[in-house]
Chain A
Amino acid sequence: MIFLSLFWTFFKIGLFTFGGGYAMLPLIQSEVLAHGWLTEAQLVDFIAVSESTPGPFAINISTYVGTTAGGSFGAVCATLGVILPSFIVILIVAKCYEKFKESRVVKGCMAGLRPAVVGLIAAAILSVARAVFFPDGASLAVFSDIGFYFSLILFAAAVAAAFKKAHPILIILAAAALGIAFGYAFKLPV
């Protein structure tokens, strides 16, 4: 049952994500790829869409995966699933949040969770990098492929721009323009 599966998967993702931004990426990646709801390339493409539209990544990706896997009702199930753990936990914690804030157990767990999220995202990025640089699977053939070098140089330039605090949307637009120019110049197969 796709709707139940969407709800339950995103409920788990919501319950085990700590922190903002891309903290959710590792869980989304492993669950969504395992279910076959998106490919790695589709996921990367959607990150670009999410960066260019308002709203949190978590809600955007849940709605998107829900829609592609189960239509409008799928979107409702996935989004509700990802929100519900937050909603329930916050309502419980809010009543005793002074105690919660000072709790040594919570602080101890967070001391492990915060670095864990960094490590997990780094691993998720490694897997994204594989999909970006070796779209047809890793092989030596890639070194004779002009597209590989194009991606590599574009990536290096984009990292430099990102660390110089260029706006994400600007980076995406520039990368899109370069992709179009490169694609037509070298008549890439589509």
Chain B
Amino acid sequence: MFKKRLSLFWTFFKIGAFTFGGGYAMIPLIRREIVETRGWMKDEDILDIIAISESTPGPIAVNSATFVGWRVGGVAGAACATLGVVLPSFIIISLIALILEQFQALRAVRYAFYGIRAGVLALLVKAVWTMYSKCPKGMVSYVVMLLSFLVAALTKVNLLFIIAGCAAIGLISSLVFRKGAEK
């Protein structure tokens, strides 16, 4: 069991160290390592990992590491896998944080970031477009999208309330529409 936990840690450490873009980019790597190389889970389990990670709070990467770790090695396995997936980021960013500010004092670097900011904005636009196209469409969906956008953009309402409110709208409307369909 100890060996299994160690290899859980190491497997997810590698996954954390070699995925760029996080979350969903990690799923193919998890599949290759967990299903093909180690044989810890089956192909159809991967769909469960995605479904569970998407419908629970927190980053997809951490959710899926915890879930796989638990299935393979219990609570300790979950801890090992999660620690493994987090550690590469933690180490790399801790080092970068130490030098980023000094680095940004350089004239050339400041100019570089002047350009980079416009590029990052474009990446965010692309990201929100991708999320929009994956989001289920429908009347309720569009209303919630518009409502959350307007309230967040125009008011100072705490985002946590908006998020909780939208979950409530989704829940209530799904119950109401279901009742309507039964009649």
The A interface, classified by DSSP as helix, strand, loop or mixed, is helix
- Counting chain B CB atoms within 10 Å of each CB, the highest count among A12, A54, A123, A190 belongs to A54
Q: What per-residue 1/0 map shows which CB atoms of B118-157 lie under 8 Å from chain A? A: 1111111111111110011000111011111110110000
Residues of A within 8 A of B67 (CB): 90, 94
B130 to chain A: closest residue by CB: A21
- Counting chain A CB atoms within 10 Å of each CB, the highest count among B18, B97, B116 belongs to B116
Which of these, B92, B111, B130, B135, contacts A183 with CB under 8 Å? Answer: B111
The B interface, classified by DSSP as helix, strand, loop or mixed, is helix
Residues of A within 8 A of B116 (CB): 45, 48, 172, 175-176, 179
Residues of A within 8 A of B125 (CB): 125, 159, 162
* Interchain CA distance A139-B94 in the complex, whole Å: 37
* Interchain CA distance A155-B111 in the complex, whole Å: 15
Q: Contact at B122–A14, with CB atoms within 8 Å? A: no
Q: Contact at B136–A114, with CB atoms within 8 Å? A: yes
Q: Contact at B107–A93, with CB atoms within 8 Å? A: no
Q: Contact at B169–A112, with CB atoms within 8 Å? A: yes
Q: How many chain A residues touch the partner (CB < 8 A)?
A: 109
Residue numbers of A with Cβ under 8 A of B are 12, 14-27, 30, 41, 44-60, 63-64, 67-68, 72, 75, 79, 82-83, 85-87, 89-91, 93-94, 97, 100-101, 104-129, 131-132, 147, 150-152, 154-155, 158-159, 161-163, 168-169, 171-172, 174-180, 182-184, 188, 190
Besides the known contacts A51-B20, A75-B97, A122-B153, 6 further A-B residue pairs in the complex with CB atoms under 8 A apart: A44-B121, A108-B173, A112-B171, A113-B166, A114-B135, A182-B114
Residue numbers of B with Cβ under 8 A of A are 16-24, 26, 48, 51-63, 66-67, 70-71, 75, 78-79, 82, 85-86, 88-90, 92-94, 96-98, 100, 104, 107-108, 110-132, 135-136, 140-142, 144-150, 152-153, 158-160, 162-164, 166-175, 178
